[in-house]
Amino acid sequence: MNKTYLLTIPIVLLLSACGSKVANSAENMAQPMIYQESYDGDRAVTPMPLTLHSTIPKRMVTTRADISVEVDDIKDAKKQLLSLVESFSGHIENARLSEGGYYHASIKVPSDKLMPTLEAIDKLGDKISQSINRRDITKSFINMQERLKNLKLFRDKMKSLLSQTTKIKEILQVERELNRVQTEIDMIESQMKNMKGSVDMSPIEVSLKEKTVYGPLGYVGNGLWWVVKKLFVIK
C-alpha cells in the first residue's frame, strides 16, 4: 500500500465524519419540541418543555417594504425624505429623479425603525400604496452555522495531518484540500455576515410622484374624458 493511498484514507474519513455531523444536526433541527404535562392530584402543573436543543436561537427575520406617495412638490419632498432617513439612522443607497415629477429611492433603516420611517414617509403626501414582506431565515442560518463549525473542525484536523507529513506529493495534496476548505469557510462566513446585515437593516423602496395640477381647460378636458370613458366602461 503506497503513501498516497494511506494519506487519502484519513482525508476521506474526515470528510465522512463532518458530513455525518451536518446530517445529524439537520435531523435534530427537523424534530419538533416535545411537551410533557405534569399533574398534582387534579390540578395541572405548568407544562415542562423537553427541548431537543439546549438553547433555542433567536428568530432571524428579514423585513423589506415598498411605499408610493403622491406629493405636492417633488423637489421639496425629496429634501424631506433625505432628512427623515438621516433622523432614523438610515441611508440612501441609490436614487433617481425622472422627468414628469417622479423620484425613486432605495433606502435602508434599522429594522426596529422600519415602521416609524414608513409612517413619516406617508406624511409627505397622499399614500398610494404600501407593502411589507417578512422572511424567516433562522433555519438557513443555523444550517450554515453548523456547516461552518464542522468545516473548521475538518480544517484543524487537516492542519494536524499536514504537520505529520514529510513527502512533497502528500504535502501538496493536503494543502490543496486545505485551500478548498478555507475557500468554503470564507464563503459561508461572508454569507452569514450578509444574512445578519439583512436582519439588522431593512430596505425600503420609495416612490414619490408629483401631483398633476390642471388648468381650467385641463379640468374640462379631464371631465369630458371621464364622461366618454363611462359610456364604454361602467366599472
Summarised one tens digit per residue, pLDDT across range 172-201 is 988 999 999 999 999 999 999 999 999 999
The structural domains of the chain, with segments of one domain joined by +, span: 61-135+201-212
Helix (H) / strand (E) containing 136: strand 126-136
Query: CB-based contacts of 45: which residues, under 8 Å, 6+ apart?
Result: 37, 38, 39
Residue 47's CB: how many other CB atoms inside 10 A? 10
Residue with cell 433555519: 139
Residue 148's CB: how many other CB atoms inside 10 A? 17
CB-count exposure of residue 178 (10 Å: 0-12, 13-18, 19+): middle
| CA 94 centroid distance within chain | 19
Q: What is the mean pLDDT of residues 59-83?
A: 95
pLDDT higher than threshold 70 for residue 80: yes
Grid coordinates representing 163?
A: 504537520
- Give the residue among 209, 204, 196 at the shortest CA–CA distance from 94: 204
Q: How confident is the model at residue 49 (pLDDT cuts 50, 70, 90)?
A: very low
Q: How confident is the model at residue 235 (pLDDT cuts 50, 70, 90)?
A: low
Instruction: Say if strands 201-210 and 61-71 run parallel, antiparallel, or are unpaired.
Output: parallel
Q: What is the mean pLDDT of residues 122-132?
A: 96
Q: What are phi and psi of 202, to 5 degrees?
A: -110, 130
Type of residue found at 73 = D
Residue 229 in contact with residue 185, Cβ under 8 Å? no
The count of residues in the chain is 235
Residue 88 in contact with residue 41, Cβ under 8 Å? no
Judged by average pLDDT, the poorest of 33-42, 84-93, 105-114, 116-125 is: 33-42
Determine what percent of the chain is predicted with pLDDT higher than 70. Answer: 66
Q: Own/partner pairs for 183-188, CB < 8 Å, 24+ apart?
A: 184/151, 185/148, 185/151, 185/152, 185/155, 188/144, 188/147, 188/148, 188/151
| CATH class for the domain made up of 61-135+201-212 | alpha beta
What sign does the CA torsion over 222, 227, 229, 230 have? positive
Type of residue found at 81 = L
Helix (H) / strand (E) containing 106: strand 102-110
